[in-house]
Amino acid sequence: MQLLRISIPGTQVKEPERVTRMQNEMMDKLAAIPGVDSVAIASAAPLETANLQNDLLYARDKVYAARQIPPVRAFRYISPGFLKTDGTPLIAGRDFTWTDVYEKRHVGIVSENLAREMWGSPAAALGKEVRTGLQNDAWREVVGVVGDVYDNGPAQKAPAIAYWPLMVDHFELADLYATRYAVFVIRTNRAGTANFVAEARRAIWSVNANVPVFLTRTLQDLYGASMARTSFTLVLLAIAGVMALVLGVVGIYGVIAYAVTQRTREIGIRMALGAQPAALQHMFVLQGLRLAGVGALLGIAAAAALTRMMSSLLFKTAALDPWTYAVVSALLILAATLASYFPARRATAVSPVEALRTE
């Protein structure tokens, strides 16, 4: 997904309709570029927390006590079709329409977590009225509820967001307000290529040559930046985990193999008394398995107790992963089995007389 940020020159408050129609025309030009599936515009793209606006959000059906104010919420101004282009699912209700925008209808959309927090369910949020903390701001009907967007990165909880149309009326600011500092969100299979960015710039400049186009990047770039710290931490943990597993396997093999080798004289005595080599090998392997089994159980218990430290680095993944525990335990038990079997086989291959001479 390609992102192109623009800033339309001029006073946004004085000419909001001109700004909005200009943005709409630019979207039409961008949609005509080969390879473009859909285009939308918003005040901030997903993961662009620096460009999100924040304010109080009042609900008309909620009663606030003296000196009590509602929590601060994040706001995003979007065009019709933004949710589809961005891939944000519509949980209940509908998207904005251009009729909502140009007729200046008092409508809004809220995120699913905000709807559940305030009204219990997405369906219950439809028809409710909300407004910002601006003095004398208009009450807006909630016409849609959308899925949560992890604007702070996958590692953090999705913020509660309210969505407004591109052109809204904030009475404290002016009669109308239009978002002129915005970002085009373009769904295309050519995202990130220099040729596509050049074509997109020309399409925007064909409408207004004075509009600066900057911060041309992809949604994958934003995602990578949001995951940089977590990815670095996970890489270090993966390296440490692999090294610990290798050292554990080598250590288990070496210790058990040494312990079995030290019992070569015992093996000779047992063979002299009539014990069969296969039975001796089986006995030592079972002893090694018992030790490895006890160690694996203790290790799983310790790992389960430390999973809380890993939970903050995982996204929609349980810290208790049975398959991981099973595979690692199987590797350690296999190492213990081999460490018991091979030395025992070598010792039983020696004649009892030579084995008895071993000190």
Q: What is the DSSP string of 218-244?
A: EHHHHHHHHTHHHHHHHHHHHHHHHHH
What pLDDT does residue 7 have?
Answer: 72
Confidence of residue 166 (pLDDT cuts 50, 70, 90): confident
Least confident of 8-17, 158-167, 328-337: 8-17
Same domain, residue pair 174 and 258 = no
Confidence of residue 312 (pLDDT cuts 50, 70, 90): low
Within a domain: 268: yes
Confidence of residue 173 (pLDDT cuts 50, 70, 90): very low
Same domain, residue pair 69 and 96 = yes
CA dihedral of 113, 119, 121, 122, whole degrees rounded to 10: -70
Q: Which residue has the higher pLDDT, 158 or 18?
A: 158
Within a domain: 95: yes
Within a domain: 146: yes
Same domain, residue pair 297 and 340 = yes
81: left (phi over 0), alpha (psi -120 to 50) or beta: left
Domain limits for position 256: 229-357
Confidence of residue 171 (pLDDT cuts 50, 70, 90): very low
Q: Which residue has the higher pLDDT, 295 or 30?
A: 30
Same domain, residue pair 255 and 291 = yes
Within a domain: 223: no
Structure token digits, residue 29: 């030009």
Within a domain: 224: no
DSSP character string of 290-336: HHHHHHHHHHHHHHHHTTHHHHTT-SS--S--HHHHHHHHHHHHHHH
Same domain, residue pair 93 and 115 = yes
In sequence order, the β-bridge partners of residue 78 are 42, 165
Residue 108 has pLDDT above 80, yes or no: yes
**pLDDT, average across residues 198-211:** 90
What pLDDT does residue 298 have?
Answer: 82
Same domain, residue pair 165 and 310 = no
Within a domain: 126: yes
Q: Which residue has the higher pLDDT, 151 or 116?
A: 116
Within a domain: 222: no
Whether 132 contacts 55, CB under 8 Å: yes
What pTM does this model have?
0.69
Distance CA 247, CA 238 (A): 14
- Residue 224's CB is within 10 A of a number of other CB atoms, namely 13
Confidence of residue 260 (pLDDT cuts 50, 70, 90): confident
What pLDDT does residue 172 have?
Answer: 42
What pLDDT does residue 13 have?
Answer: 46
Whether 166 contacts 41, CB under 8 Å: yes
Residues 98, 104, 106, 108, CA torsion sign: positive
Distance CA 155, CA 332 (A): 32
Among 190, 217, 244, residue at a domain's last position: 217
Number of structural domains the chain divides into: 2
The three-state secondary structure class of 29 is helix
Same domain, residue pair 54 and 196 = yes
Distance CA 277, CA 235 (A): 47
Distance CA 201, CA 234 (A): 38
Same domain, residue pair 254 and 119 = no
Residues 24, 28, 29, 35, CA torsion sign: positive
Least confident of 32-46, 237-251, 298-312: 298-312
Residue 92 has pLDDT above 90, yes or no: yes
Same domain, residue pair 58 and 197 = yes
Closest C-alpha among 53, 15, 167, 182 to residue 106 = 167
Least confident of 100-104, 170-174, 196-200, 348-352: 170-174
Distance CA 53, CA 78 (A): 12
Helices (H), 34-171: 82-86, 98-102, 112-119, 122-125
What pLDDT does residue 46 have?
Answer: 85
> What is the pLDDT of the chain when averaged over all its residues?
81
Same domain, residue pair 285 and 195 = no
Within a domain: 246: yes
Amino acid at 167: M
**pLDDT, average across residues 228-242:** 79
Q: Which residue has the higher pLDDT, 244 or 144?
A: 144
DSSP 166: S
